[in-house]
Amino acid sequence: MISYPKDKINVLLLENIHENGFNLFKDDGFNVQLFKEAFSEEKLIEVLPKTHILGIRSKTNITAKALAHADRLLSIGCFCIGTNQVDLVEAEKKGIPVFNAPYSNTRSVAELVLAEVIMLARKASDQSMGMHVGKWNKVASGCFEVRGKTLGVVGYGHIGSQVSVIAESFGMRVVFYDIQTKLPLGNAKLCNSFEELLEESDFVTLHVPESPDTINLIGKKEIALMKKGSYLLNLSRGTVVDIDALVDALKSGHLAGAGIDVFPVEPASNKDPFESPLMGVPNVILTPHIGVSTEEAQKHIVLEVVCKMIKYVNNGTTPFCVNFT
């Protein structure tokens, strides 16, 4: 048990973490502050000297420079799957465990993927926008059922495998590729190569982490391998797709549509403007990084991360910690 009074332990939660996170820490006796926006490196340097527990999502970057001012920091919680926004090596050197939520948002992301697959196949997004400005355009040309179509899943982890299961329930044929050996679920077929998956698929959906190996994983060369008239979905990381190459493929007609939820550069908060070369391109669904933006996912993420952090503060255990074994 800790001897330091919990009401003296300062918890800083950033990026509009679900209010349940605030309540869980508060109910356990911690001193908690909650902010809607991400913090810059300069702002972190200002606040970290007095912070014991830090909670972030994907837009606050915890650099070595920031951590140099975090002598009181006990733990960092990433209220998401990814932890690439944290300098894990430096955190480990300082004895700061980093926790995340690798399991809590699987269903929410998978459902959005399949929703966008159907919307793209039916051009539903463009039709809806047209109706809002008074255009009635009832056509069947270029619209398809997803039943019988091939969905290629790149990255067959928690989310990718869940997408696979749901897609089969719609009658889709599923193929997948992963750099690690994964057991297929249902009737999913393992492709021998990434290139094979691209060539076979009517829809390609990406579920990979951000790393040096996945930056521009989908570029001009990879898009050229995809079927003419196929579709690309990225609900993983914004750096995985070369956006300019995607725009060119969409405008040329090589790709029939795309669903993009993540971007190389994203606004720091809901108050900041969004810009992308994809704006205005037909049959492109753009969403503001909402793959995990459901009440269920956010509650589960908060419960998973906060419980890990409180357990660590209470007894020093680090189960499922990202940077310590």
Enzyme catalytic residues: 237, 266, 289
For residue 52, the Cα-to-chain-centroid distance in whole angstroms is 26
Partnered with residue 78 across adjacent β-strands are 56
Q: How far apart are CA 215 and CA 91, in angstroms?
A: 24
DSSP 3-state assignment of 310?
Answer: helix
Query: What single DSSP character describes residue 175?
Result: E
Q: Any residues with CB less than 8 A from the CB of 132 and at least 6 apart, and which? A: none
For 319, the token pair is 């189960």
Q: How far apart are CA 211 and CA 4, in angstroms?
A: 39
Q: Position 42: which residue type?
A: E
For 195, the token pair is 């290139």
Q: How far apart are CA 279 and CA 261, in angstroms?
A: 13
Q: How far apart are CA 309 and CA 77, in angstroms?
A: 7
